[in-house]
Amino acid sequence: MNFQKNNKIGLFDSGVGGLSVFVEVKKLLPDMEYFFLADQAHVPYGRKTQKELQDLSARIVKFLLKSDIGILVVACNTATCYALDYLRQVFKIPIIGVVPALKPAAKLTKNNKIAVMSTPATAKSTYLKNLAKKFAKDKEVMLLGCKGLEDAVETLDRKTIKTLLDEYTKDVRDFGADTVVLGCTHYPFLKTEIKIRVGSGIQILDSGRAIAKRTSQLLKDREGRTKSKAIETFYTTGNPQKFSQIASQLLKYKVNSQFARI
Ligand code: DGL
């Protein structure tokens, strides 16, 4: 496939979290055609093995390629950590992964203490550890695996979100970080609630904007642009009614989704 002539953008995540990346990409590229897939039949990815994640991710890419996507955004930190290299070996289209914003965090921190909130799987990944070594070796970095938080965002279970955020942000405060990196794409939807708990002086970074810029760079010619506004197709491997309901709340407009068999 000649991706130069085909700039439809595919994105995927284990669930609704990847929508936080989609929002940023769409802000920068409002006139493109988007295909977003939430693999809710297999959420959370944090409990899968690397082999399972590679297999699921490859099946998703094959599915999205049927819609002629010319560029793929892996809108999931966990899938990026465990499957990005594999996907790049197998598929020839440009693939952008979500990397936790440790590099900018290392530049911004004043007290040299950075907390990375992510799924437990991302927290213990070699990928993230190498990233910390590469970009923040002279900093103290706390890799905080926030078990259950992405599940709670999946269902917008407010009570559980509150309980878990109280617990995890206490860890961040006790550690004394002045910079917090959101290393799971579900968490930007909780940014305000995290900010309230860690305090307004703490900087909170996510990767959405950087992913959007990278996507935009790769689509310089923008051949796939639509006449005016974005065309969006949402798929879930889970329940489309449930996905549409939660996605509509997160995106603040009515979302319709379709079932996808990957
Ligand atoms: N949004 C995914 C991430 O960025 C969550 C992964 C999961 O389902 O565990 O890591």
Q: For the chain, what are the domain ranges?
A: 3-98+209-259, 102-206
Q: State residue 246's pLDDT score.
A: 97
Q: Which of 76, 80, 98, 250 to mutate to test the pocket of ligand 1 (most atoms within 8 A of CB)?
A: 76
Fold category of 102-206 in CATH: Rossmann fold (3.40.50)
111 has binding-site annotation: no
Asked if the domains 3-98+209-259 and 102-206 are classified in one and the same CATH topology, the answer is: yes
HEC letters along 57-77: HHHHHHHHHCCCEEEEEECCH
Q: Which atom of ligand 1 is nearest to the CA of 81?
A: 10
The tokens for 135 are 């970009």
13 has binding-site annotation: yes
The tokens for 186 are 């579900």
Residues of the chain with pLDDT under 70: 1-6, 220-228
Please say if 184 is a catalytic residue: yes
Catalytic annotation, pick one of 136, 184, 212, 246: 184
Q: Which amino acid is at 14?
A: S
- Give the separation between CA 215 and CA 245, rounded to whole angstroms: 28
- Give the separation between CA 243 and CA 16, rounded to whole angstroms: 7
Q: Which of 146, 164, 186 to mutate to test the pocket of ligand 1 (most atoms within 8 A of CB)?
A: 186
Which residue, 71, 134, 69, 70, is CA-closest to 99? 134
Q: How many CB atoms lie within 10 A of CB 75?
A: 30
**DSSP 3-state helix, strand, coil percentages of the chain (rounded to 5)?**
50, 20, 30
Average per-residue pLDDT in the chain?
A: 93
Catalytic annotation, pick one of 76, 141, 144, 153: 76
176 has binding-site annotation: no
Q: Which atom of ligand 1 is nearest to the CA of 184?
A: 4
- The CATH number of 3-98+209-259 is 3.40.50.1860
Please say if 76 is a catalytic residue: yes
Q: How far is ligand 1, taken at its centre, from the CA of residue 69, in Å?
A: 22
Residue nearest (by alpha carbon) to ligand 1 atom 6: 45
Residues with CB under 6 A from ligand 1: 13-15, 17, 43-46, 76-78, 119, 122, 150, 184-186
Residue 201 is classified by DSSP as T
Which residue, 239, 256, 259, 238, is CA-closest to 247? 256
Q: Which of 13, 47, 187 to mutate to test the pocket of ligand 1 (most atoms within 8 A of CB)?
A: 13
186 has binding-site annotation: yes
